[in-house]
Amino acid sequence: MIIKLLAPQIPTFWETIKYAVKHADGVKDRELPSYLTELLHALLNDKAQCWVRLSEKKEVYALCVTRIMHNPQRDEKYLYVQTLFSWVPQANGVWEENFGFIREYAKNTGCKYIGCMSNNKRAFEIYESLGMKEESRIFSLRID
C-alpha cells in the first residue's frame, strides 16, 4: 500500500525519513543537519511530499520524497524526486507499480514531467526502468 504522508504525520515518521534521506541522498555528514532542517520545514509546510510503501503490518518498505518545482528554461512545473529508498530489495515491476501513484500525483498537480537527480547506480536502473531518460549531467569542482 502506498500513502502520501500528511504534514501532521511527518513527526511520527521523521526518524524513518531521516534514515532514508541520509542513505539515499548522498549528503555529507557535516551538511546533514542543515539539509534535514530544510527538509523537515518543507515537509511540514507541504512544500515537499513524502510517500511511503507500507506492508500489511504497517511497516515501511520504501520511501520517496518529492517536490513540485518550476523549470524556468521550459517554463513548466515538474515533480522532482529528491529521495528514493527501499529497506527491502524491490523488483523493477514493484517500482513501476508504485511509481504510478507518483505519476498520477504529478499529473493531478499540473506537472509536465517528473525529474530526478542521483549519484546512486541502483536509482539510475530504477529510473530507466520507469521510462526516464537522461537529459543532463552535473559536474562540480570543489574550491574550498
Q: Are 83 and 126 in contact (CB under 8 A)?
A: no
**Predicted pLDDT at 35:** 97
Among residues 82, 68, 78, 75, which one has the least CA distance to residue 24?
Answer: 82
Q: Give residue limits of the domains in the chain.
A: 2-129
CATH superfamily of the domain spanning 2-129: Gcn5-related N-acetyltransferase (GNAT) (3.40.630.30)
Phi, psi (degrees; rounded to nearest 5) at 59: -90, 145
The pLDDT tens digits along the chain (144 residues) read 889 999 999 999 999 999 999 999 888 999 999 999 999 999 999 999 999 998 888 899 899 999 999 999 999 999 999 998 889 887 667 777 778 888 999 999 999 999 988 777 777 888 888 888 888 777 888 897
